Structure 1
Amino acid sequence: MKKYPVVLAFSLFLTAISCTGKDQKSSDAPTENVTAETADGKIKTEEISYGINGVTHRSYAAYNPDLQGELPVVFVLPEWWGLTDYVKGRVRQLAKLGYYAVAVDYYGEGKVVETPEEAQKLSSHFYNIPIDARRMFDAVKNKIIITPNANYNKMAIIGYCFGGSQALNMARLSGDFKGVVSFHGNLKTGIRAKNNKAKYLVLNGAADKMVSKEEIEAFKKEMDSAKITYKFVDYPNALHAFTNPDATETGKKFNLPIAYDRQADEQSFNEMKSFLADVFK
């Protein structure tokens, strides 16, 4: 399997190190396929567990049990910190919108990492060997096939930072999705896009120092060449990781140009809502 060039790998490292997860020290203990009522009202959450190479992966799902029939599925790919409370909160937000939402456990055991060094070590594997990321994703997707609340024929995928890059890769590698959304993710992933009818939505901070103008132009050229339907949105003055409320504090801690932007966060979430409603029509 080919590795990324050193320059790209370093760029991905800088991008990944800027992503921050809310409440990284998650206290959620692993459970075995249980469903529980949450404080979010009519939203139920459940753990989807499955084994990969001897490791139990514990993805996190949520849905509204009062909704009848099979629900459109939205996979949520996390920041490089793992299955944090931040990404679980995003899953519950999507469940409130009427979707069966699933946060994918890439590292196994619902792992949440606390240092950039450990996060970089774990996440770089999926940048360097994209097919392994596909295997991780396919494992949870195969569980969704037998989930009575989920509509396997209506699937979309979204991601944040590291997860945004991985979401773009999954759309490049698979024709299963109606749409893909990347929030402040890296755009240069080493896999060329092909027109498999998935629509793309890329939500980017205009002041993001982790995603260069050259990278943006190359991405747009790639999409145009493959005749892919896409929308690219720049949010004025927004830095990297602009959707995460902990980004400003983390930026100060690691001396990185990242910050939360409430306006960009709200606008990008609404942009995603409209996009999902359109692709699932």
Structure 2
Amino acid sequence: MFRKNSRGIVLVFAVAGTLFASALFAAESIDARTLEYTVNGVVCEGYLTRPASVKKVSPAIAIVHQWKGVGDHERSVARRLATLGYIAFAVDVYGKGVRPADSAAAGALAGKYKADRALLRKRVAAGMDALRSTPGVDRNQMVAIGYCFGGTAVLELARSGYDCAGVVSFHGGLDSKNPADAAAITGRVLVLHGGNDPNISQKDLNEFLDELRHTSVDWQFIAYGGAVHSFTDVSAGNDPSKGAAYDERADKRSWRAFMDFLNDVLKK
């Protein structure tokens, strides 16, 4: 089925079938499917989940991927959120079939979008628009979250002035090409940061905090002691000396902070 929204983004719903949660999500069933959408001639393929039980409208959460594109981690988060009653959509910034094979390729591709913040904002906004146009989504109850590269992306979405209830960055980049853009932020901001993340310089951290202090934005910044980059990603290994590693304590604490944020911002 094809659908076109007010921004001219063509949506293609490709039903992959009804999926039931695995043992981790056994308490409730969910529906999951791929969702294709086209922006400026580029076909993107995201992953949409929702509770199997029918509701007229539900709050919605967009998930922006790390540097290797939509993968198991993003799909797992989407399914987890669906079991909690949200419609969740893993946004595809790179385009259908564009999935870096290794870290070098991922770094180059992510770098392209970080260098062109206007393009990054446009791709993330397109994913949000695709979610907004999905039947059953409460358009006034939308949040965007992102991991690593995706954390950078949702902060840029907020700086662009995109209308949503809030954004959440998990171990994302903090630097801004134009700090004055923070004045355009309309929703709440939550940043969940690894206190020992070597990818974030003290300069970037200080400038980010100053950026928000000079606005009226409702924001919160939480740093987790001992955690490095990718602290929510179990595939990152367990050796912090490499600069990126899973940290179970920080993962659980950041998820609780995220849940508190949703409870404050969204109504189910």
Residues 148 and 52 of structure 1, relative CA distance in 2, 3 Å threshold:
closer
Tell me if the contact between 1:165 and 1:189 (Cα under 8 Å) persists in the aligned partners: no
Residues 259 and 196 of structure 1, relative CA distance in 2, 3 Å threshold:
closer
1:221 aligns with 2:196: no
The amino acid of 1:37's aligned partner reads T
**Alpha-carbon distance in 1 for matches of 2:128, 2:146:** 16
**Alpha-carbon distance in 1 for matches of 2:149, 2:131:** 23
The amino acid of 1:141's aligned partner reads M
Question: What does residue range 57-96 of structure 1 map to in structure 2 within 5 Å?
Answer: 57-96=44-83
Equivalent residue, structure 2, for 1:262? 248
The total of aligned residue pairs comes to 248
1:107 aligns with 2:88: no
Shift >6 Å, 4+ stretches: none
Equivalent residue, structure 2, for 1:125? 112
TM-score, normalised to structure 1's length?
0.82
**Alpha-carbon distance in 2 for matches of 1:134, 1:216:** 21
Equivalent residue, structure 2, for 1:239? 228
**Alpha-carbon distance in 2 for matches of 1:122, 1:280:** 33
Offset at residue 55 of structure 1 (A): 3.3
Equivalent residue, structure 2, for 1:33? 14
Offset at residue 35 of structure 1 (A): 4.6
Tell me if the contact between 2:161 and 2:186 (Cα under 8 Å) persists in the aligned partners: no
Percent of aligned pairs with the same residue? 31
The amino acid of 2:20's aligned partner reads A
Equivalent residue, structure 2, for 1:139? 126
Unaligned 5+ segments in structure 2 are 1-11, 22-27
Higher relative contact order (CA 8 A, sep 6+): 1
Match of 2:17, SS state, is: strand
**Alpha-carbon distance in 1 for matches of 2:189, 2:14:** 32
Offset at residue 78 of structure 1 (A): 0.5
**Alpha-carbon distance in 2 for matches of 1:139, 1:257:** 32
1:171 aligns with 2:148: no
Unaligned 5+ segments in structure 1 are 1-30
Offset at residue 39 of structure 1 (A): 3.2
1:230 aligns with 2:230: no
TM-score, normalised to structure 2's length?
0.86
**Alpha-carbon distance in 1 for matches of 2:131, 2:245:** 35
